[in-house]
Amino acid sequence: MEKCFMKSENQIENLLKQKFEAKRVSSVVRYFMSGTQKFEQGDWEISLLKAGKFIEAVIKMLWVYAGKLLPLKQKDFKAGVFAQKIIDQVNTTEILEDGVRLEIPRASIFVYDITSNRGGRHDSDEIVPNEMDASTILPICSWILAELVRFATKKSIDIEEAKKIISSLIERKYAIFEEIDDRVYVNHKKFKSVNECGLLILYKVYPNRIAKNKFTDCLKQHNFKQSAIKLERLSNYIDVDVYGNILLRATGRQKAEEILNKRKIC
């Protein structure tokens, strides 16, 4: 069994709850994990959306930790504004460490600015910078969460164990899917058979159809032989139109997501 370096979602939550309000912790971890998953799936736009939600949850958590009250109405909470308030208004008796009181809010302002405003600053003729932005933002979010774990676990767990957790959080993440000249590639660690590989290729292509011969070529590019490719084995998951173009059905999308979620974060 492949060794896992990352703590499970529940374990990370339990560590953060040593310092922070439970419901705030749950939101922070949930948005981080879902944002990471969307990044690995190549869904840059949703990954950035989740990163923005992650930052909102982090700033709320720190504001509450400092003994401050959040606005009663959600519309009155602006993550960038409250991050700056933490820098300007929270003192060393409310949050002792500068890394948490100053550096995390500063990093959060940068991330939130990108996730909130970036799309509106580009002409329609420009290349949408979602992939570049997501590749920049995710490591910063990982660093923020690692800093929070470090702060929360200080003196409560073995230093070597803490190092492993933090290292796993800030390790570089790679997208599961790659597309080169309309050819779809899938990280080989994500599938164990030609059927699983095929489902993931169709998942990446969805909601578009893919020609049967092109689909077969994609599987061959993953080192599967023609004799191993049996389209009928996917019959419960796909729709094939009269022209031989394949579309992944809801059952197939569900199955593909189960495959993507196989990677245990343990």
- How confident is the model over 51-75, as pLDDT tens digits? 999 999 999 999 999 999 999 998 8
What is the average pLDDT across 240-246? 92
- Across the strands, what pairs with 178? 185
High-pLDDT (> 90) share of the chain, %: 46
Residues 145 and 181 in one domain: no
Residues 150 and 199 in one domain: no
> At residue 188, does pLDDT exceed 50?
yes
Residues 43 and 164 in one domain: yes
CA atoms of 186 and 179, how far apart (whole Å): 9
Domain interval for residue 245: 177-260
CA atoms of 250 and 231, how far apart (whole Å): 17
Domain count, the chain: 2
Residues 183 and 165 in one domain: no
**Domain presence at residue 65:** yes
Residues 60 and 38 in one domain: yes
| Predicted TM-score of the model (pTM) | 0.69
List, for residues 12-36, the tens digit of each pLDDT value.
888 899 999 999 999 999 999 889 8
> At residue 153, does pLDDT exceed 80?
yes
Mean pLDDT, the chain, rounded, equals: 84
**Domain presence at residue 198:** yes
Residues 211 and 155 in one domain: no
> At residue 77, does pLDDT exceed 70?
yes
Query: Helix (H, G, I), strand (E, B), or coil: what is residue 178?
Result: strand
Phi, psi of 238 (to 5 degrees): -130, 160
Residue-wise burial string across 37-61, b where 16 or more C-beta atoms lie within 10 A, e elsewhere = bbbbbbbbebbbbbbbbbbbbbbbb
What is the average pLDDT across 127-146? 84
> At residue 143, does pLDDT exceed 60?
yes
Helix crossing, 44-65 with 79-89: angle to 10°?
40
What is the average pLDDT across 82-100? 91
List, for residues 197-223, the tens digit of each pLDDT value.
999 999 988 889 999 999 999 999 999
Chosen domain end from 170, 198, 225: 170
219, 192, 194: which is closest to 205 by C-alpha? 219
What is the average pLDDT across 115-140? 70
**Domain presence at residue 3:** no
